[in-house]
């Protein structure tokens, strides 16, 4: 049975801590963590956690509770808890490279990712804007969609990691069509929702208020939405984001499409931070992730919560089962 890979992320943060908690699970499908095995053992010792780390070399049997399969990725420099080191940026990217390569070569069902620190990778002189964009480029697909989800809410993004002043120009007819096509396809195929109901946020306050607060809704967004509605797809026209996220609207929605990162994600994270996950739609493999950052100050303290990683692994395994 093909494994699910889990990247351990930034070694100075809580990624290794939460990955060690995967040893508490017993799953039918093998889970393999990409990490420096000596560093992971040292972290287990700091946390006073008894874990049997088994080096993975392509063969795996069902693990028992207290065991964790690890594919060794060597660090470039020693890790100091809570202190970022650009020398280990290549180590972090090697985890991502291997996880993407194995998925593309059908050596795994996909990947769940622990957090990385974008700034230290850029400090190493390597352009890096995030996991989502990395996997998109590696897979060679024109567009992917970032969607975060809790047990009761899914929020997809028309744009991701862009400065706010660039968002309006980025919302084009072609981008919206690509995003909506991917969102509809993956909700239907991966999540088994036959007729997805999607609420769409306007870009401007009050969804532009008939053009008084912006023209993007009139000139770009609503005309695209009308095309899908004419085909029978259940998409709303632009709704004001400040009222869209109310219970009476959300109770009949399968997903929300927000125009930019901080329009939809603060609402989702306020409802389920620590229980939310990030899913990259549009890839030829499964990719889920935690909804939080590296939490450098919590590394090695035993205070890091691993719930988001477990939810990400659960969803990845569920999606793999449905393929």
Query: Quick count: other Cβ atoms within 10 Å of Cβ 54?
Result: 16
Domain ranges of the chain: 1-141+284-323, 143-282
Return the pLDDT at 284: 94
10/182 Cα distance (integer angstroms): 30
Look up the pTM and report it.
0.89
118/128 Cα distance (integer angstroms): 6
Question: Quick check: 114 and 309 in contact, CB under 8 A?
Answer: yes
264/153 Cα distance (integer angstroms): 11
143-282 shares the fold of 1-141+284-323: yes
Determine the CATH number of domain 1-141+284-323.
3.40.718.10
Q: How far is CA 16 from CA 66, 67, 86, 269, in A?
A: 15, 15, 17, 23
Q: How far is CA 86 from CA 37, 117, 187, 230, in A?
A: 20, 10, 38, 51
Residues 143-282, CATH architecture:
3-Layer(aba) Sandwich (3.40)
For the chain, 323 residues long, give each residue's pLDDT as a single digit of tens. 899 999 999 999 999 999 999 999 988 889 999 999 999 999 999 999 999 999 998 877 666 899 999 999 999 999 999 999 999 999 999 999 999 999 999 999 999 999 999 999 999 999 998 898 899 999 999 999 999 998 889 999 999 888 999 999 999 999 999 999 999 999 999 899 999 999 999 999 999 999 999 999 999 999 999 999 999 999 999 999 999 999 999 998 999 999 999 999 899 888 876 778 999 999 999 999 998 899 999 999 999 999 999 999 999 999 988 66
Return the pLDDT at 129: 86
Write the CB contacts of 234 (distance below 8 Å, at least 6 apart in sequence): 195, 196, 197, 198
103/202 Cα distance (integer angstroms): 36
């Amino acid at each position: 049975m093909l494994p699910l890979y889990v990247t351990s992320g930034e070694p100075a943060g809580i990624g290794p801590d939460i990955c060690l908690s995967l040893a508490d699970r017993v799953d039918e499908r093998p889970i393999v963590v990409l990490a420096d095995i000596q560093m992971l053992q040292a972290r287990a010792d700091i946390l006073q956690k008894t874990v049997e780390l088994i080096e993975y070399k392509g063969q795996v049997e069902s693990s028992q509770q207290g065991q964790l399969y690890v594919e060794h990725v060597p660090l470039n420099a020693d890790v100091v808890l809570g202190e970022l080191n650009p020398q280990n940026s290549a180590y972090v990217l090697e985890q991502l490279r291997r996880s993407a390569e194995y998925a593309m070569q059908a050596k795994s069902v996909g990947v769940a990712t622990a957090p990385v620190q974008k700034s230290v990778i850029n400090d190493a002189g390597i352009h890096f804007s995030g996991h989502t964009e990395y996997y998109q480029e590696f897979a060679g697909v024109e567009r992917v969609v970032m969607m975060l989800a809790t047990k009761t809410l899914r929020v997809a993004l028309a744009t991701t990691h862009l400065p706010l002043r660039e968002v309006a120009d980025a919302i084009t007819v072609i981008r919206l069509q690509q995003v909506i096509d991917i969102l509809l396809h993956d909700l239907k195929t991966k999540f088994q929702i036959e007729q997805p109901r999607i609420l769409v946020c306007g870009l401007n306050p009050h969804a532009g208020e008939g053009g008084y607060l912006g023209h993007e809704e009139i000139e770009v967004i609503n005309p695209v939405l009308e095309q899908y509605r004419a085909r029978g797809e259940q998409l709303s026209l632009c709704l004001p984001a400040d009222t869209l996220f109310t219970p009476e609207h959300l109770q009949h929605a399968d997903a929300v499409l927000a125009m930019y990162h901080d329009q939809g994600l603060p609402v989702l994270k306020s409802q389920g931070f620590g229980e939310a996950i990030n899913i990259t739609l549009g890839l030829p493999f499964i990719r889920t992730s935690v909804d939080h950052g590296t939490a450098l100050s919590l590394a090695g303290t035993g205070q890091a919560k691993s719930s988001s990683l477990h939810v990400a692994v659960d969803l990845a395994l569920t999606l793999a089962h449905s393929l």
